[in-house]
Amino acid sequence: MAHDTLYASRPRRARRARRAAGPGPLRPLLRWDGAVGLALLLVALGAALLVDGFATAGNVRFLLLDAVAVALVALPMTLVVVTGEIDLSVASALGLCSAVMGRLWVAGLPLELIVVLAVALGAVLGAVNGLFVTAFALPSLAVTIGTLAAYRGLAFVVLGDDAVADFPFEWTDAVAGTLPGGAVPWAMLLTALLAVAFGVLLHGTPFGRGLYAMGNNAEAAAFAGIRVARAKFWLFVASGATSGLAGVFWTLRYASARADNGQGLELSVVAAVLLGGVSIFGGRGTLPGVFFGVLLLATLRNALQLADVPADTLDIVTGSLLIASVVVPNAIARARARPATGRAAPAGEPTAPPRQERPEREDTEDAPA
């Protein structure tokens, strides 16, 4: 991210991160992702007790179906943000893939082929982002704000007026279909499997550890032999391809290919990723945390909606959660750090490095230095 060095003092942070390396798995609830999981459980439990109609198979199915697109896109986004980059163009890529899907369907191509093409197109869109960010060394925030506008614009160029809606029932029904029991859509199951794959990639492979390393200090990571540009490029490709997949899902789920599909979804995705405990500066965060974050947001929205809370309040809740998810841990960490370091943050200088003093959210223990 472009904004990080306003706060960061990387060498000190890395030292602290190593010191903080503790028995992580043994205190999961003290970690952010554990806390988010716990919050999810509490919210779901509370909603089940208090909100009429929440704990039904049908409602759970709708809740999960609504969460699929955000969950899909949030997976690669987690990895992208861990490396310190961001991809704001995901929703526009989704819309463009949906529009192209509609156009190709009208042109008479078989749907099986269209699905593959849509995902491939998403990968190409991601590769364009990746190219700008790595080969031209441009800030991903600016690049993806540009492609956010460009891809959405192209979606309108491709499909313009039309909403293509005559997709076959077999497909549209199947996409919304559930596993036996009627509560868990198989689309969510697939998303969960994909989440496991991304989780293993991030937490269980040298590649994943490399991502944390470059998020903490890209230069050091590069000197340590990690191919920073290449990794980032492929992450953007993955982000694009997943957006394409989400576009396919969206189109079939709503049986409607439109240029404005998924507009504004990038905000929900970023909100979920940050709520899930990924640092916007890069270098920290876990995939389970993000998955819980997505579900937490979806559950809250669903429960509040069932309780007839108006839409504007939902927006305020989402926004406040996003802010709280970055402000609260900082505040707690500083409150804790104060007695330990014996010295409060300098009063006149409120933007001191934010993370020097909050080791409990570190997941960087295995970062090569």
Partner 1 sequence: MPLRSVRIPRIPRTPHSPRGPRRAAAPGRAARLGVAALAACALLATAACSGTTREDGESDRDAGAGASSTATADPNAPLAEDLAVAFLPKQVNNPYFTVADEGGHAAVEEFGGEYKEVGPSEASASSQVSYLNTLAQQHTDVIVTSANDPNAVCGALNSARSAGARVVTFDSDASPECRDLFVNQATAEDIARTQIELIAEEIGGSGQIAILSATPNATNQNAWIELMQQELEKPEYAGIELVTVAYGNDEDEKSFQETQGLLSSYPDLAGIISPTTVGLAAAARYLSGSEYGGRVALTGLGTPDQMREFVHDGTVAQFALWDPADLGYLAAYAGAALASGQITGAEGETFTAGELGEYTIGADGEIVLGPPTIFTADNIDDYAF
Partner 2 sequence: MTAADAHSSPASPDARAAQNASPSPAPPASGAPPAGGRAPGPSGGRRGAARLGAARETGVLLALLLLVAGTTLANSRFLSAQSVKDILLGAAVMVVLAAGQTLVVVTRNIDLSVGSVLGLAAFATGKLFVAQPGAPLPLALLVGLALGAACGLLNGALIAAARVPALVITLGTLYVFRGLDHSWASGEQINAADMPHGFLDFGTATVLGVPVLALIAAAVLLAVGVFLGSYRTGRELYAIGSEPTAARLSGIRVGRRVFLAFVISGALAGLAGVLHAARFGTVDATVGTGMELQVVAAVVVGGVAIFGGSGTAYGAALGALLLTTIGSALTVLRVDPFWQQAVDGGLILAAICLDRVLALRGTRRARAKEAPHGA
Write the CA distances from 32 to 76, 293, 359, integer angstroms. 19, 10, 11
In angstroms, the CA 208 to CA 234 distance is 12
Task: Return the closest-CA partner of residue 248 out of 159, 187, 177, 157.
Answer: 187
For residue 58, state whether it binds partner 1 (rule: CB under 8 A): yes
Half-sphere exposure (Cβ direction) of 133: Cα atoms closer than 13 Å: 35
Pairwise CA distance, residues 229 & 18, whole Å: 25
Distance (Å, whole) CA 188 – CA 67: 8
Distance CA 34, CA 181 (A): 28
Question: Environment class of residue 198 by beta-carbon count within 10 Å: exposed (0-12), middle (13-18) or buried (19+)?
Answer: buried
Among positions 93, 94, 100, 125, the unique one binding partner 1 when judged by CB under 8 A: 100
Binding of partner 1 at residue 161 (CB under 8 A)?
A: yes
Identify the helix (H) or strand (E) that includes residue 59.
Answer: helix 57-82
Q: Which CB atom, from 171 or from 207, has the smaller least distance to partner 1?
A: 171
The answer to whether 344 contacts partner 2 (rule: CB under 8 A) is no
Q: Closest CB to partner 1 among 60 and 228?
A: 60
Q: Choose among 241, 263, 260: nearest CA to 99.
A: 260
Overall residue count recorded for the chain in this entry: 369
Counting residues that bind partner 2 (by CB under 8 A) gives 84
Distance, CA of 26 to CA of 180 (rounded, Å): 35
- 255 forms part of the interface with partner 1 (CB under 8 A): yes
> Which of these ranges, 105-113, 133-141, 208-216, 237-245, lies near partner 1 under the rule CB under 8 A?
105-113
Choose from partner 1, partner 2, none: what does 302 bind? Cβ within 5-8 Å by kind: partner 1
Is 5 among the residues that bind partner 2 (CB under 8 A)?
A: yes
Position among 19, 27, 230, 338 found at the interface with partner 2 (CB under 8 A): 230
Give me the DSSP letters along 104-115: HHHTT--HHHHH
Q: How far is the CB of 73 from partner 2 (least distance, A)?
A: 16
Q: Give the one entry of partner 1, partner 2, none that residue 145 binds, where binding means its C-beta sits below a cut-off of 5 to 8 angstroms depending on kind.
A: partner 2
Nearest approach, Cβ of 303 to partner 2 (angstroms)? 17
First to last CA, the chain: 20
Q: Decide which of partner 2, partner 1, none touches 45; Cβ closer than 5 to 8 Å per partner kind.
A: none
Specify the DSSP element, H or E, that contains 131.
Answer: helix 111-134
Q: How far is the CB of 311 from partner 1 (least distance, A)?
A: 4
Closest CA to 123 of 246, 229, 228, 243: 243
Binder of residue 1, out of partner 1, partner 2, none (CB less than 5 to 8 A by kind):
partner 2
Residue 318 makes contact with partner 1 by CB under 8 A: no
> By rule CB under 8 A, what count of residues binds partner 1?
65
Q: Which stretch binds partner 2 (CB under 8 A): 38-46, 164-172, 173-181, 219-227?
A: 219-227
| Binding mask of the shown chain, residues 71 to 90, with x at each position contacting partner 2 by CB under 8 A | ------------xxxx----
Rule CB under 8 A: choose which of 117, 127, 156, 190 binds partner 2: 156
By CB neighbour count within 10 A (0-12 exposed, 13-18 middle, 19+ buried), where does 280 fall?
middle
Q: What does each C-alpha distance from 169 to 172, 174, 259 come to in angstroms? A: 5, 8, 21
Stretch that binds partner 1, among 15-23, 163-171, 272-280, 334-342 (CB under 8 A): 163-171
Site for partner 1 in 108-127 (CB under 8 A): 108-113, 116-117, 120-121, 124
Q: Contact between 1 and partner 2 (CB under 8 A)?
A: yes
DSSP 8-state symbol, 51: S
Q: Which of 92, 217, 302, 364 binds partner 1 (CB under 8 A)?
A: 302
Instruction: Return residues touching partner 1 (CB under 8 A).
Output: 52-54, 56-59, 61-62, 66, 100, 103-113, 116-117, 120-121, 124, 156, 160-163, 165-173, 176-177, 182, 250, 254-256, 258-264, 301-302, 305-306, 308, 310-312, 314-315
